[in-house]
Chains A and B, each alone.
Chain A
């Protein structure tokens, strides 16, 4: 990669449950797949949780979690609980 890593952030509650309270991570990844893969390597099983339980905000823009999402250098990747509508 060699460029600014993505800043990956979890909510406090999510971090408490899955990452021992650690909320922020710097991850070298060009796509969301890379982020998920690396988080799963650090916390086995977390990848599935991220895919199934979260919506992701990439630089503020909301997306369902998809491997294909591209990340700009230094992107902020915020995993938040999934939302439903009426």
Chain B
């Protein structure tokens, strides 16, 4: 990294940062020509199809694939036996620890099918119809076992066990009996007894959230080609093609260097495409058949077999003094992990009370397996769930002590130096600014009508940093190519081009940003954790600074002066001063034209492990109207303030905020997995799993609060996730103000709202 080029200090005002130019990926997308995961077609490609378990929980007695393999047109049939066994060990950090013994069993069931839709075998054939016929010829003998879906039921002593030898981690001494509880966590600060003793008002309540899916528009899809020499290629849409490469190579038992993964366009991920489902299966089918294989999920398969986020059962207790000082908080968070350990309960614990200065607090979490698809990440994983409980109780407390709910939050807002429940002190501001932005918003005091209510809530998310890479090359005509390893989900190609153009001092249209495959750019973490603008952006700026230094060196060669006699200003090399000589400025194009004479191609690469990312804070309020006849909740107004550091491309930032809020509205009002008595999912499609659509919603007003992060060249903070944390509680709080009833279970669908209205004290909290 070249510290001599300090962009943030060098440029007083920005030319491109803070503007919203046309997105570079727009035209192919609106014309239907963008290449998504299912669009790659190679000569000789076979159709892959997966046979899935019809049972929620069953022992696999036998699998006979002989009749399927004998069907004309079938080129390969595989089961779990084709994949190498993996060691039972948790690898990596606790929350993101990967146990490949579990992962390989999620890809393809071995001893047991653990949820409806669990893959048990796969075929590759010359057509869809042959593949379907082959799947029908696979004879799987099951011994159906009792199942458990609900998290509280799964924790009961007599619950059916998914794993007969699962001993809860994090409990000392270790339990002697197995259970479905994979792990217990506890984080604590201060003294709870002392804290609650100082409270004038204490409120505690139980809450439940439903299992919800990320509901990305594009189902999972990929193509794979494994050659006879063992080398292979995969084309897939994902949130991280380097992760696809690492996971697939491990599950296939092949060296990472033998696999190259190409990123397709991605039609949404929201965390759900940070893991693999199809890629190892397609690769194994290709290896076995000798042909390329394409696999694509149906929408039903997406719902039945890919990871939603956890449903949860929670209890939260908070104490406050009469003048509004929060003095103690306690919470228990029980999360469904799905069929294998690994819910986001740790994040829920860490984030639950993070926006607040509470001297005495504890969060206890349980990771619980049950007969559902394995949970995957979903936008600020874990945080929205605990926020629903905590922000609901805060609203009850504010009402009880007669204080405005935003004023209560502002009074207790975490600031620089405030301790967190997980240990370190906050290093960034940003939260109180979001609360103040809403207190200053004219809508917050606007009058409401009959059956209408207003509610507010806040949320916290860590945001991410970490490893990212970028390469840059200057073309012969002075245009610039920026390649990164970050799949573009939220507009990163535009923001990378903006930051490169700003740093170089050239026109945005001169810079083309692309997403490069695993063989063409350095390792880059997944596009997740709201990390790309921060970390990959830092790599792009670093690469640009290196290019600038090289351009100055080449200009010096052209002028035949010392490199120190050249400076880079406004996209041109210029003499550093009068003593450097009187030369006309050299543009990027001028220097590119002399690339051969000055040493060859003008390129640079940068890799970073970016740190110092700032967390995201969001505060939101909404107005709702409740129809007392039907229980339907209509969102009348929604205002979301978020600390974004500095918005590189404000239109995209607003889009992130609006998207997160809309997903939160879906969690709040309608979305849920509905299982029948046999443990089978009854609503695996968008007709019955109801996401909000445009006609359900008002314009979501995004308020961009800018408290720049000094650790980023342009002050950016992650903006993709925290916006989904407040909506559920904000809506619950608004409903309570509309109908005088506290709803504590998601989704707050019309039947539940109607029951609350009609019931004597149904669900009333405080």
Contact in complex: B271, A59 (CB < 8 Å):
no
Q: What is the minimal beta-carbon distance from A74 to any residue of chain B, in angstroms?
A: 14
Q: Does A83 contact B (CB under 8 A)?
A: yes
Contact in complex: A86, B379 (CB < 8 Å):
yes
Q: Does B655 contact A (CB under 8 A)?
A: no
Query: Which A residues, 6 to 62, have Cβ-Cβ distances below 8 Å to chain B?
Result: 9, 11-13, 16, 52-55, 57, 59-62
Q: Give bound CA distance, A83 to B381, whole Å.
A: 10
Q: A13-B185, A60-B425 are in contact. Are A81 and B380 (CB under 8 A)?
A: no
Contact in complex: B170, A78 (CB < 8 Å):
no
Contact residues on B (Cβ < 8 Å of other chain), bracket: 35 or more
Q: A85-B530, A86-B378 are in contact. Are A60 and B427 (CB under 8 A)?
A: yes
Bits for B142-183, please: 1 = Cβ < 8 Å to A, else 0. 000000000000000000000000000010100000000000
Q: A57-B427, A69-B611 are in contact. Are A85 and B381 (CB under 8 A)?
A: yes
Segment with Cβ contacts to A, from B117-125, B399-407, B461-469, B617-625: B461-469
Contact among B270, B464, B611 for A66, CB-based, below 8 A: B611
* CB nearest neighbor in B for A16: B172
* CB nearest neighbor in A for B346: A81
Contact in complex: B423, A62 (CB < 8 Å):
no
* CB nearest neighbor in A for B91: A52
Which residues does chain B contribute within 8 Å of A84, judged by CB atoms?
Answer: 95-96, 274, 344, 347, 377, 381, 528-529
Bits for B57-81, please: 1 = Cβ < 8 Å to A, else 0. 0000000000000000000000000
Which residues does chain A contribute within 8 Å of B186, judged by CB atoms?
Answer: 12-13
Contact among B96, B214, B612 for A62, CB-based, below 8 A: B612
How many A residues, CB 8 Å from partner?
Answer: 27
Contact in complex: A66, B609 (CB < 8 Å):
yes
* CB nearest neighbor in A for B380: A86
Q: Does B92 contact A (CB under 8 A)?
A: yes
Contact in complex: B423, A86 (CB < 8 Å):
no
Contact in complex: B462, A62 (CB < 8 Å):
yes
Contact in complex: A52, B271 (CB < 8 Å):
no
Contact among B93, B274, B466 for A81, CB-based, below 8 A: B93
Which residues does chain A contribute within 8 Å of B185, judged by CB atoms?
Answer: 13
Q: What is the minimal beta-carbon distance from B272 to any residue of chain A, in angstroms?
A: 8
Q: Does A80 contact B (CB under 8 A)?
A: yes
Contact in complex: B271, A53 (CB < 8 Å):
no
Contact in complex: B465, A64 (CB < 8 Å):
yes
Q: Does B83 contact A (CB under 8 A)?
A: no
Q: Give bound CA distance, A78 to B214, whole Å.
A: 33
Which residues does chain A contribute within 8 Å of B93, judged by CB atoms?
Answer: 52-55, 81-82
Query: Which B residues, 576 to 625, have Cβ-Cβ distances below 8 Å to chain A?
Result: 609, 611-613, 615
* CB nearest neighbor in B for A60: B427
* CB nearest neighbor in B for A9: B423
Q: Does B422 contact A (CB under 8 A)?
A: yes
Q: Give bound CA distance, A84 to B96, whole Å.
A: 6
Q: Give bound CA distance, A81 to B423, whole Å.
A: 11
Contact in complex: A63, B611 (CB < 8 Å):
yes
Which residues does chain A contribute within 8 Å of B529, judged by CB atoms?
Answer: 83-86
Which residues does chain A contribute within 8 Å of B449, judged by CB atoms?
Answer: none
Q: Give bound CA distance, A83 to B95, whole Å.
A: 6
Contact in complex: B611, A86 (CB < 8 Å):
no
Which residues does chain A contribute within 8 Å of B612, judged by CB atoms?
Answer: 61-63
Bits for B461-499, please: 1 = Cβ < 8 Å to A, else 0. 111111100000000000000000000000000000000
Contact in complex: B531, A62 (CB < 8 Å):
no
Given contacts A11-B422, A66-B609, 9 further A-B contacts (CB under 8 A): A11-B423, A13-B170, A16-B172, A60-B428, A61-B611, A61-B612, A61-B711, A84-B347, A85-B721
Task: List 19 A-B residue pairs with CB atoms under 8 Å apart, sorted by A's residue number.
Answer: A9-B424, A53-B97, A55-B93, A60-B428, A62-B465, A63-B609, A69-B611, A81-B94, A83-B529, A84-B96, A84-B347, A84-B529, A85-B271, A85-B461, A85-B464, A85-B721, A86-B270, A86-B377, A86-B528
